[in-house]
Structure 1
Amino acid sequence: MPKRVRTGLTRSDILDRYIERMKQMLVKFQPFLSRKRGSASLEDFDEAAEDLIGQVFGAASDEAEAYFYAKSGESVLLPEEAQESGMHDVERECLQQRRQVLESCLADLELRHRVQATRQGSRDGKNRLRGTVEEYMSHDVRSVHRAATIKEAGRLLQKYKVGSLIVDDGSRYIGIVTDSDLSRKAVAKGLDPNTTTVVMCMSKPVVTIEETESLAEATALMKKEGIRHLAVTADRTIIGVLSLADVCRAYEQPAESKGR
């Protein structure tokens, strides 16, 4: 299996360029989701999209693999009787999964840009990270049962407008699944979203942090575990979620408004 590689994106100007190109790619993709597609070739678009993803994330990255499976349709295969009866539009689903992969790539780039900006601000002696986890966490704890399909999990993420769901087995929390898990792990492995359960792509165990801990401690824990979401606890009971985006927001917030 080829080694997964990533480009060392650090400079803001490079990130700006890639972000703009990814946005343009999404704009160009919109007509394919419409009934009036125009004269553009989907094959040409796929080639350009895969080339861009390869430049940004690497030709053997999860993102590149996810797009490959999205366009091939292997991740939306259903029983023959379902397809023959017209119960599922496989082509439409493939288009939607292409869009999801591209949107995930854009979200990743925008988050990197924000992290890069906060690091630069810290080096300049500005916007130093202060405050506790409780001040910036989300108090909405959204969960999904382990038996739910990844398609159901995706709908819940969209419904609640959150980036992660805590996975439970009916009596306790056993893992966490994020939007990135669904768009990369699931699609990249060619998993059928209609039958694959969230257990197949969730992260476990749930990494937690107490609400009274500092944001600096939370950031260090995220870096150590290689994750972007932490379950927040109070006396070992999960009461919220802290994301890397929340940490970036803490950097961006004016110093005079912190602690209010």
Structure 2
Amino acid sequence: MAVRTTPPTQRVSLDRSIERMRKQLTEFASFLGRGKPTRSLEEFDLETERLIGDLLGQASDLLHAYEYAELGEAAGLVNMTDEAPEGSGLDSQRQSLLQRSRVLESCVSELEARRTATPKKTKIGRILIGPQIAEHMSTEIRSVSQDASLREAGQLMQQWKLGSLLVTNSRAYVGVLTDSALARDVAAKGLDPRTTTVKLSMRTPVAAIEGDRPIIDAVRMMKEQATRHLAVTQDGQIIGVISVSNILRYYSGVV
């Protein structure tokens, strides 16, 4: 059986790219307290954005992830307020620095994956890089009946300390209710939470992503669909939920 190999010229180019990215990662360590920075963080960020764009492409999801990491808050991921980031015990500046570091590590991993002789690809040819979504999702699935009242749903969110609930019709998951949708309908629209059912406020269909996809794909889908929560599937079945909080904990190194 023939083995695919990376052309010599391309491999040399990738070797150099990996070396450049590793050098950037090594320099970044000084901003985490391992040494004294030789330039400002703003200058480093500008160069890093250019480097990621040059080596991985301006459309790279990792370039977007680095830009989000610079913001250092969940609000930088998507322009929604569905869920406050669950506390990690880190101040926002430190968290932002750790997120940058994880993105740079992911950049190195992607370049190394491109260099390998037989990178793992999806059905549409995309290289799978980084940790899988299933490794960082919440496996405990919390749901509420579509016929329950908004008040009941709100109480469940408070009890379980969640920003969203999957909605079921007793046979299948048919939607998602977020705390922001609940607050919007009750406060802004003046609906009575005691008599208004979840069905009237839920979002349909359920936004879902396969668990074997890399985390960066979840970042992209959340941005595209303007949501902070995704159901995670395996063989067509929902096996968990991944939220902005899960992703930020990963990029902060808190897992």
Provide the TM-score with structure 1 as the length reference.
0.52
Aligned to 2:241: 241
Change over 3 Å in CA distance of 1:118–1:212 after alignment to 2: farther
Change over 3 Å in CA distance of 1:116–1:216 after alignment to 2: farther
What SS does structure 2 have at the residue aligned with 1:239? Answer: strand
User: Aligned partner of 2:100: which letter?
Assistant: S
Q: Distance in 2 between matches of 1:252 and 1:201?
A: 33
What SS does structure 1 have at the residue aligned with 2:191? Answer: coil
User: Aligned partner of 1:250: which letter?
Assistant: Y
Q: After superposition, what is the alpha-carbon deviation per residue over 1:31-72, rounded to whole angstroms, capped at 9, x for unaligned?
A: xxxxxxxxxxxxxxxxxxxxxxxxxxxxxxx99xxxxxxxxx
Change over 3 Å in CA distance of 1:116–1:245 after alignment to 2: farther
Aligned to 2:219: 219
Alignment of 1:37-186 (within 5 A): 107=84, 118=96, 121-122=99-100, 126=104, 128=106, 130-186=130-186
- Please, which runs of 5 or more residues in structure 2 have no aligned partner? 1-68, 74-79, 108-129
Aligned to 1:208: 208
What SS does structure 1 have at the residue aligned with 2:135? Answer: helix
User: Aligned partner of 2:188: which letter?
Assistant: A
Greater radius of gyration (CA): 2
Change over 3 Å in CA distance of 1:153–1:120 after alignment to 2: same
Q: Kindly report the root-mean-square deviation, in angstroms, between the aligned alpha carbons of the 2 structures.
A: 3.7
- Please, which runs of 5 or more residues in structure 1 have no aligned partner? 1-9, 16-61, 64-103
Contact 2:98 2:253 in 1 (8 A): no
Bigger fraction of residues in helix: 1
Identity %: 37
Contact 1:127 1:252 in 2 (8 A): no
Aligned to 1:41: none
What SS does structure 2 have at the residue aligned with 1:245? Answer: helix
Question: How many aligned residue pairs are there?
Answer: 158
What SS does structure 2 have at the residue aligned with 1:147? Answer: coil
